[in-house]
Amino acid sequence: MTDTSIRYSTLSNGMRLVARATSLPVEHCGVIINAGSRDEGPELHGLAHFVEHTIFKGTGSHKAAYVRDRMELVGGELNAYTTKEETAIYSTFPAGHLNRALALIAEMVTDANFPDTELSKEKLVVGEEIDTYLDTPSDAIFDDFEEIVYEGSPLAHNILGTRESLARFTSADCRRWLEERFTPGRMVFFYSGLTDPDKVFNLADKYFRGLTRPDTALDRAVPPVNAPFERINDSRESFQAHTIIGTRIPGLLDPGRLDVALLANILGGPGMNSLLNVALRERYGLVYSIDASTSLMSDNGLLTIYFGCDPDDVKRCLRLTERVINSLTDTAISERKLEAAKRQFIGQLTVGSVNSEQVAISMGRSVLYRGYARTLSETIEGINTITPESLLSAAQALRHSSRLTLK
């Protein structure tokens, strides 16, 4: 279904643009770059994330304080994130400040200078981030799990890197990453707000037309599918045991993506009525929370179930979880239950669609990977085509699950 509020354009240098007209008094704009931690070499683990931090630390024209304050002085925000496949730099601000935001983001992307003094300070900050993450087993277990699942692949290592790799990064490394990865063909500029799309595109052309770095091909291979495993790690000291059950699934461009998303929502979505929450928390009080989620990349993904519990209850929680999983892998769900699950999932997505910042970012990501902005209506239409048989087929992936417990 075509959304007439969304417009597209492409600059002469190959950079793609997407703009969505809204009536909100808040605007969003940014760039999403097809470059993440899976593109790092063995000696540079964590560089994509470090560049995301240090790109805020000044340009050839302005010092770090200017970058820090430029949007905040008008009540806006400047943010960024890094994943295994992408980096985003974006701003949310009161309507009327698009020129300020766009000029700043373009300056960062094209002219960041990574001064040594600022890099030294930011290494301390990122080092603390690494330590904090490692001290949070409910987060760290996901990286431990991925390290085993993706062993032998660039997807195996932590996005943050290590203190050892962090210490090696230089200003030259950061500049080289920017010049080789932040290129027009790998970038999408996105905008959502009151400004007419033609004016948005003209401003984007003004600030980004000078970006003429040559594009390089993405050197990514689909990671091999390793054998399922069951491991217990007793090396961590924690009052809780933490467990992940998970399996490889197809990526975000796969036709069955929505079947897997609905499956995860039925198993352990945010609703208190998810099957696993009812089975482990509501019925027996064994866990504070239990979640099922998908993590999708362009060419593969993971479906994971996570719970934390008393170490003495791990085996019982695993038995109950296996029982719930088998109920979905052994027999197709009834039409009545499927329709109820669809209705709940669509309702959750509809509620989430009022988060204009996330909608804008998702629009940019969709153009980056699909070439167009996938709309909520299109997603709902896809969910409504799910059948008991297609959901059962998606659930079969859980028959080959791996398991990791940290005690």
CA distance 394 to 220: 26
pLDDT score, position 237: 67
Q: pTM for this one? A: 0.94
By DSSP bridging, strand 16-21 and strand 187-193 are: parallel
Give the class (CATH, top level) of 230-406: alpha beta
pLDDT at 216: 86
**Amino acid identity of 142?**
F
Rounded to whole angstroms, the Cα distance separating 89 from 236 reads 35
* pLDDT attached to residue 2: 62
Domain 6-208 and domain 230-406 have a common topology:
yes
C-alpha to C-alpha distance for 294 and 328, rounded to whole angstroms: 17
Q: What is the pLDDT along the chain (407 residues), one digit of tens a residue?
A: 568 899 999 999 999 999 999 999 999 999 999 999 999 988 999 999 999 999 999 999 999 999 999 999 999 999 999 999 999 999 999 999 999 999 999 999 999 999 999 999 999 999 999 999 888 999 999 999 999 999 999 999 999 999 999 999 999 999 999 999 999 999 999 999 999 999 999 999 999 999 999 998 888 999 999 999 999 988 666 789 999 999 999 999 999 999 999 999 999 999 999 999 999 999 999 999 999 999 999 999 999 999 999 999 999 999 999 999 999 999 999 999 999 999 999 999 999 999 999 999 999 999 999 999 999 999 999 999 999 999 999 999 999 999 999 98
Q: Domain 6-208 has what CATH class?
A: alpha beta
**Cα–Cα distance measured from residue 143 to residue 133, given in angstroms and rounded to the nearest whole number:** 10
Q: Which residues of 269-301 are buried (b: 16+ CB within 10 A; e: fewer)?
A: bebeebbbbebbbeeeebbeebbbbbbbbbbbb
Query: What are the backbone angles phi and psi of residue 57, rounded to the nearest 5°?
Result: -95, 25
Enclosing H/E stretch for 244: strand 241-249
Token pair for 153? 């692949």
* pLDDT at residue number 110: 96
Instruction: Give the C-alpha separation, 5 to 134, whole Å.
Output: 44
Strands 16-21 and 6-10, bridge-based pairing? antiparallel
Domain ranges of the chain: 6-208, 230-406
| Cα→Cα distances 205→15, 108, 114, Å | 9, 16, 25
